[in-house]
């Protein structure tokens, strides 16, 4: 099996990533007696003015998701609420 050059280049770039510097948000949190799951981290509109990424969480229960929507937390806030 042969790989494309772009695939090989991507693998090389991944080798240089310092994974310890990438924030590790919890997958699930509990707030107001509702369990939320991680939806995304960072991205457009999900950063503080300082540039810090925010984790976006949505209720695990779909009916609650429709009622409440998402919450955005810093990594410190999310870690305190981790399930």
How confident is the model over 50-80, as pLDDT tens digits?
A: 988 899 999 999 888 888 889 999 999 999 9
Please name every residue paired with 34 in a beta bridge, in sequence order, or none if there are none: 31
In the prediction, which pLDDT does 19 show? 76
In a domain, 37, yes or no: yes
The DSSP line for 7-69 is HHHHHHHHHT--GGGS----SEEEETTEEEEEEEESSTT-B-TT--B-EEEEESSHHHHHHH-
CA–CA dist 4, 8 (Å, integer): 6
Please name every residue paired with 31 in a beta bridge, in sequence order, or none if there are none: 34
In a domain, 11, yes or no: no
pLDDT higher at 28 or 66: 28
> 22 — phi, psi (to 5°)?
-90, 125
In a domain, 9, yes or no: no
**Structural domain boundaries enclosing 68:** 19-80
In a domain, 30, yes or no: yes
Residue 20, both tokens:
């310890």
If one counts the domains in the chain, the total is 1
In a domain, 14, yes or no: no
């Amino acid at each position: 099996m042969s790989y494309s050059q772009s695939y090989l280049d991507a693998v090389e770039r991944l080798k240089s990533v310092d994974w310890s510097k990438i924030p590790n948000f919890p997958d699930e949190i509990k707030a107001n007696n509702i369990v939320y799951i991680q939806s995304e981290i960072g991205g457009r509109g999900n950063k503080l003015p300082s540039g810090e990424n925010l984790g976006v969480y949505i209720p695990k229960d779909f009916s609650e998701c429709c009622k409440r929507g998402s919450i955005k937390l810093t990594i410190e806030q999310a870690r305190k609420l981790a399930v």
